Amino acid sequence: SESTSVNTNIVTLTRFLTEEQKKHKEATGDFTLLCHALQFSFKAISYYIRRATLVNLTGLAGQANATGDDQKKLDVIGNDLFISAMRSSGKCALLVSEEEEEIIYFRDTVSGARYAVACDPIDGSSNLDAGVSVGTIFGIHKLAEGSKGTKEDILRPGTELLAAGFTMYGASAQLVITMKGGTVNGFTLDNSFGEFILTHPDMRIPKKRAIYSVNEGNSLYWEENTKSYFNSLKYPQDDGKPYSARYIGSMVADAYRTLLYGGIFAYPADKKSPKGKLRILYECAPMAMVFENAGGQAVNSKMERMLEVTPESIHDRSGIYLGSYDEVEKVKSFHK
Ligand code: AHM
Ligand code: MG
């Protein structure tokens, strides 16, 4: 019949999480509730990112703001939305945000919360005004046994992450999430349902692909081995062709493309930024977990496994290479 062409058995994020929860006997449903709050913040941020463009357009048409209030910048709105979602979830004991210098503790408002969350609410925000894709990155740790939530609960290596992922706000909002020892699953926000729908189950990154993604404007500051690695990609490879370059300048968008198509994404440490640019807790480690669970790899500029790095302070930076398994092997071979 006609109706058979319509999928009536849709897997929403809620359904997916409920089914995942059933697999874990000891699960209390707390994590599912935390994810509910997370996905709400993604929907809200996605909505305001789309709306912001319209607000700017009215501005251009000569309309004045009646109250004279300054329009809040989007990264402030994104940060506030995220904080409020985490606080009200009742499951988050503490939060690290790129926009906040210090850890935010919810201990006074919440008892029994068992998770510590790190996030970059709107990563790549320098791209916002041009309508280029940006994203939210998140990593979730479980508090140590008996802990009510301290700095030590979040200053953990990525190997201990319970879950991590990101949402890219592009042509549509794409949510990618993975759990410890699990697969990587991609969801697309269906705006009419207001639901994230499972569209990319069990994502696997291609084993190799001749695409590199790096800010080549920094090459003056690169170490010699970094220079020779990227230089080598510009000469004919086994198939007689050099690599293609793709760089959006939004980590989430560059990483999402790399996850789907394969290749390498890098932000190496260099002479200008010896510690690298990207942040360990809410940029490097969550992405590294996604890439490893999808069959790829992630290392820092010392070629150490990214997930094994323990940050000393919440905003610590690192150089990073992440991508297809074979592409990261090639990076390593140039840095011996
Ligand atoms: P942000 O957190 O201030 O937005 O900076 C992080 C962004 C990443 O999304 C992106 O990979 C990188 O900065 C781009 O940096 P650059 O402009 O130096 O190439
Ligand atoms: Mg950022």
Positive or negative, the Cα torsion across 38, 40, 43, 44? Answer: negative
Minimal-distance CA residue to ligand 1 atom 3? 124
How far apart are the CA of 250 and the centre of ligand 2, in A? Answer: 8
Among 100, 137, 213, 250, the mutation site with the greatest number of ligand 1 atoms within 8 A of its Cβ is: 250
| 172 vs 214: CA distance, rounded Å | 24
Among 119, 137, 221, 278, the mutation site with the greatest number of ligand 1 atoms within 8 A of its Cβ is: 278
Q: What whole-number percentage of the chain has pLDDT above 70?
A: 92
Least Cα distance to 141 among 152, 131, 132, 128 occurs for 152
pTM of the model: 0.94
Question: What pLDDT score does 2 carry?
Answer: 56
Which atom of ligand 1 is least distant from the CA of 127? 4
328 CB near ligand 1 (under 6 Å): no
Question: What pLDDT score does 198 carry?
Answer: 97
What are the tens digits of pLDDT across the range 296-335?
Answer: 999 999 999 999 999 999 999 999 999 999 999 999 999 9
Question: What pLDDT score does 74 carry?
Answer: 85
| 146 vs 85: CA distance, rounded Å | 24
Question: Is residue 24 predicted with pLDDT exceeding 90?
Answer: no
Mean pLDDT of the 115-137 span: 92
Which atom of ligand 1 is least distant from the CA of 247? 19
Question: What pLDDT score does 5 carry?
Answer: 84
What are the tens digits of pLDDT across the range 143-188?
Answer: 999 999 999 999 999 999 999 999 999 999 999 999 999 999 999 9
Length of the chain: 336
Question: What pLDDT score does 64 carry?
Answer: 44
| ipTM score over 0.85, yes or no | yes
Question: What pLDDT score does 1 carry?
Answer: 52
Question: What pLDDT score does 214 carry?
Answer: 98
**In this predicted model, which residue has the larger pLDDT, 1 or 6?**
6
Minimal-distance CA residue to ligand 1 atom 5? 124
Are the C-beta atoms of 276 and 268 separated by less than 8 Å? yes
120 CB near ligand 1 (under 6 Å): yes
What are the tens digits of pLDDT across the range 203-259?
Answer: 999 999 999 999 999 999 999 999 999 999 999 999 999 999 999 999 999 999 999
